[in-house]
Structure 1
Amino acid sequence: KENEKLKKELEHLMNKEKHDQQIELLKHQNKISEERANYLKDMERKLKQMILEWRKAEDKNKVVNEIQNLLFKKNESQVVNKLQKKIDQKYAEVPEEISVGIKVKMKKNHQVGEVLEIRGKRAVVKIGLLPMQVDLKDLVAVKEKAQDSTIS
C-alpha cells in the first residue's frame, strides 16, 4: 500500500514538473515571438521612412545604399550613427516630463514623433504617419533646435 502511495505521489510530482517545464517553454517562445514582432515592426517603420526619404531625395543611389545597409545589416552601426547625428542636429534633448502633445525621441531607433496619448507605462507616439505604442522609459523629450538665420 505504501509503495502504491509513494508511486502515485511520484507520478503526480513528475506530471507537475513536466507541466511547469512546458509552461516555461511556452513563456520563452512567446518572448522570442514578441521580440521578432517588435523587430519586424521597427524594420517596417525604418523602411517606410527610407521610402519617404527616397521620394524626396535627389540622390536616389545614396538612399538605395542606406536601404541596403539597413536590410543586410552591413555597417548597421554607421547607419544608426548617421540617423542619430541627423536627429541631434535638428533636436535637443530637454529634461521635461513626457506628456501629450510634446515631441519625443525613441532611445532605441533615434526616431522623433509626437505623443498622442499616454496609457499607463506606455505612450502612443505618432512617428511620420504611423501611431505606435512605446514604453515611456524608451522615450526622451526633445525640442526642435532654432535654425541659425542671421538677418543682415
Structure 2
Amino acid sequence: MVVRRPAEVAAEYLVVLRSPEKLGYWHLVAGGVDWGEEPVAAAGRELLEETGLEAPVVPLGATLDYDLSGDPEPVRERFPAGTERIIVWPFVADAPQGWEPTLDDEHVESRWLDAEQAIALLFYPEPREAVRRAAV
C-alpha cells in the first residue's frame, strides 16, 4: 500500500521501518488478506491498523508477485506450509497535508520521501514498483 501526500511540486511517499522482530527493513504499509476478505478491504484495514489513516484505497494496476523461497525463514514461517509465491495487490491512498502516522507495534519509524528516495530506501522490488506506479 503506497501512502502518498500530494503536494504542488512533488508528492511525498510514506515508508515505514519494520521493527527488529519483523526483521527491521524499510517497507510500505502491508499485510495479509484475511479469509473471505477482498484485497481492497484488506488494504484499507491494514492502512488503518498500521498508521491510523482511514482513507479510500485505489488499485495501482496489475498484481505483483514474488518467490517466497528467497526470504529468510522467519518470513516464510508466516505463511502456510507449501506456499511458494506471494501475490501483492498494489494500492494507493492519499493522506491529507500535515497528517502524520500513528505507527503500530510492527513499525519503529516512518519517513516522508520523494519517489526517488523512497524507491532507493525500500528493501523489496515489489514495493519499489508500487511507488513507481503511484508516482506517474
Q: TM-score, normalised by structure 1?
A: 0.23
Greater percentage in helix:
1
| Higher relative contact order, chain-length normalized (CA < 8 Å, sep 6+) | 2
Q: TM-score, normalised by structure 2?
A: 0.24
